[in-house]
Amino acid sequence: MNWRASARVADYGVHKFAASRVDWHTIREDFPILREQAHGHPLIYFDSAATSQKPRAVIDALRNFYEHNNANVHRGLHTLSSRATEAYEQARQRVAEYIGAASAQEIIFTRGTTESVNLVAQTWGEKFVRKGDVILLTVMEHHSNLVPWQLLAERTGARLRFVPVLDDGTLDLDQLPSLLTPEVKLFAFTHISNSLGTINPVAELCAKARAVGALTLVDAAQSVGHMPLDVQELGCDFLAFSGHKMCGPTGIGALYGRAEILDSMPPWHGGGEMIVSVTVENSTFKKAPHRFEAGTPNIAGAIGLAAAIDYIESIGRSAILEHDSELARYAAERLTALPGTRIFGPRAERGALVGFVMDAAHPHDLTTFADQYGLAMRGGHHCNQPLMRRFGVSGTTRASFYFYNMMEEIDRMMEILHAAVRFFS
Amino acid sequence: MSPEIEELYQEVILDHSRRPRNFGELPDAAVLVHGDNPACGDEIHLAVKFDPAGGLEDIKFTGHGCAISQASASLMTMKLKGKSRVEVTEMLRAFHDLVTKETSESPKTLGDLRVMQGVRKFPQRVKCAMLAWRAVQQAFEQGSGETTVSTEPA
């Protein structure tokens, strides 16, 4: 197998693909909120790319922690503190296993993807990026993987470059040789576009970056809960993600960084938890990951995230990928057939979402209308303004899916969209 | 069809969004205001010409966005043409109350604008309805030239 073929295996998880025998209707019962109604209609939750819903197992894990184990971590010698510390560090281990990190020391708990990217920009970036260096991004980046680099460029005099996006929503990789030059210190890009659903060839991009001596940062916010993913197979140096898009609580996420790089980075926030010893003049700092976790961390959040990982793994990420892909493929097909509708993103493999615009109604009118029928979608620029500009629209309507969604819900969405066409035209 | 949605998108509003009135350029405008609702991507380019007394002699707009923002701009330009600065300020306040306050009795002076009342049930859409009004307010404050206004203060 050549490296390109193995990259495809890592990117799409095809080697772990298994025929799905999951009873998705039963799985759906694990999510209490999906029994809610909105405006007198059964809720159809098609906004999981913004945040996913939470299974009872995660809700129970949070409750269980607060009812039985709550204490601060790493500092108390009492029973509860030991339990809390153990659970928190076990959660780190669980995250490491989940994404294929070599060790738990490579996992820093953060508030989510945004904080993870900012951590890299403000620690690694401040130390290693100089005037004239280049940070390579893509036009499809979420603002969270764009603005931190703009701020770094302002502070350091570094330059930003962007890989263009083709009409079909994929990256224009023909441009890569002229963009990915030795001045590039970091190539930061998304795994799955939150507006287009494009699945980028991460392993291939990482290999090319490595060849010119650039580090890589992968924004895995839209992929980590949806497909098998292994940081060592992908070959990335950093990987950022949020817990709340993968069945976990809000306010918790992680940054993976290769150990040798993390240890070379200066601390970020100063405070308790991250020091070895402190005098009034100065301090010495712990090694990664604790060096980057100043203050009392989101203990319950980390434990909830571990519970979310256990839950996802009990279903299997290959099965989830298969189910989500079917939903996205079916939705794209049905939307393409709807007159006066333009869908965005690749025709082939796509993440669990479809962005579209309709001649009949503006995304905000459409999402307001749909909400009246219990259908939750997102309308707007999806924190992707440069990408919206690239496609000449101010925003799109996005239907995004997760494994608790059903084909029947897409049929219902289409009925509602037909009603919207009749209403607005 | 839910009553809220029928009230929000009354036929008058849909009609104005499909065929906005006073839509176009105003070559001899005194002020041009570029209004922007960055959260939604709605844009209104409002051109205003004042009469010698400082009232609104003529007003036109271009732009794009949701039905609420475009219909609101269209209805507003029809209502405000020929009004004095004081009248415009009073109407702005009355319109803001109309789309935000659940209890307010909508004043008769608002006339056709009262069709926008359904917006009050949709707090996320208030900015869409107010965009054109923010622009006209800015036009009076600016007096001449070209300027911008945003529903999100920077």
Average pLDDT for B3-29:
93
Averaged pLDDT score across all residues of chain B: 91
Give the helix, strand, coil percentages of chain B, each rounded to 5: 50, 20, 30
Inter-chain CB proximity B8 and A368 less than 8 Å: yes
Q: For residue A416, what is the nearest residue in chain B, using CA coordinates?
A: B1
Q: Which residues of chain A from 336 to 395 reach within 8 Å of chain B, CB to CB?
A: 361-365, 368-369, 372, 380-381, 388, 394-395
Residue numbers in B near A423 (CB within 8 A): 1, 9
Tens digit of each residue's pLDDT (9 = 90 or more) over B52-106: 999 999 999 999 999 999 999 999 999 999 999 999 999 999 999 999 988 667 7
Inter-chain CB proximity A364 and B125 less than 8 Å: yes
pLDDT class for A17, splitting at 50, 70, 90? very low
CB pairs below 8 Å between A and B: how many?
46
Which candidate, A425, A7, A401, A403, places its Cα nearest to that of A204? A7
Cβ neighbours for A298, distance < 8 A, ≥ 6 positions apart: A109, A111, A251, A252
Inter-chain CB proximity A362 and B125 less than 8 Å: no
pLDDT at A18: 47
Q: What is the domain partition of chain A in residue ranges?
A: 3-53+316-424, 57-314
pLDDT at A3: 42
Of A364, A369, A423, the CB nearest to B40: A364
Residue numbers in A near B66 (CB within 8 A): 362-365
Cβ neighbours for B22, distance < 8 A, ≥ 6 positions apart: B59, B60, B61, B74, B77, B78, B81
Of A40, A368, A380, the CB nearest to B41: A380
Average pLDDT for A28-41:
96
Inter-chain CB proximity B41 and A381 less than 8 Å: yes
Residue numbers in B near A363 (CB within 8 A): 66
Of B39, B41, B122, the CB nearest to A368: B122
ipTM of the complex in this document: 0.89
Tens digit of each residue's pLDDT (9 = 90 or more) over A286-305: 999 999 999 999 999 999 99
pLDDT at A13: 47
Residue numbers in B near A368 (CB within 8 A): 5, 8, 122, 124-125
Is B68 at the interface with chain A, CB within 8 A? yes
Q: Token pair for residue A83? A: 């339990």
Residue numbers in A near B42 (CB within 8 A): 394
pLDDT at B22: 97
Q: For residue A366, what is the nearest residue in chain B, using CA coordinates?
A: B66
Cβ neighbours for B137, distance < 8 A, ≥ 6 positions apart: B89, B92, B149
β-pairing, A353-358 vs A396-400, is antiparallel
Residue numbers in A near B127 (CB within 8 A): none
β-pairing, B31-37 vs B42-50, is antiparallel
Query: Which of A362, A384, A388, A398 best tests the B interface by mutation, with the highest count of B CBs <10 A?
Result: A362
- Is the pLDDT at A83 greater than 60? The verdict is yes
Q: How far is B121 from chain A (nearest CA, A)?
A: 11
Assign domain B3-149 to its CATH architecture. Answer: Alpha-Beta Complex (3.90)
Average pLDDT for A42-60:
98
Cβ neighbours for A297, distance < 8 A, ≥ 6 positions apart: A73, A88, A109, A273
Q: Which CATH class, in words, describes the domain spanning A3-53+316-424?
A: alpha beta
Q: What is the DSSP letter of A171?
A: B
Q: For residue A383, what is the nearest residue in chain B, using CA coordinates?
A: B39
pLDDT at A364: 93
- Is the pLDDT at A4 greater than 60? The verdict is no
- Is the pLDDT at A236 greater than 80? The verdict is yes
Inter-chain CB proximity A380 and B40 less than 8 Å: yes
Q: For residue A40, what is the nearest residue in chain B, using CA coordinates?
A: B2
**CATH code for the structural domain at A57-314:** 3.40.640.10
- Is the pLDDT at A347 greater than 90? The verdict is no
Written as one string, the DSSP assignment of B37-48 is ETTTTEEEEEEE
Say if CB A34 and CB A404 are below 8 A apart: yes
User: Catalytic amino acids of A?
Assistant: 383
Average pLDDT for A217-239:
98
pLDDT at B133: 96
Instruction: Please state at what angle helix A407-424 crosses helix A317-336, rounded to 10 degrees.
Output: 30
Residue type, A252: I
Of A361, A372, A394, the CB nearest to B2: A372
- Is the pLDDT at A243 greater than 70? The verdict is yes
Say if CB A144 and CB A383 are below 8 A apart: yes
pLDDT at B154: 67
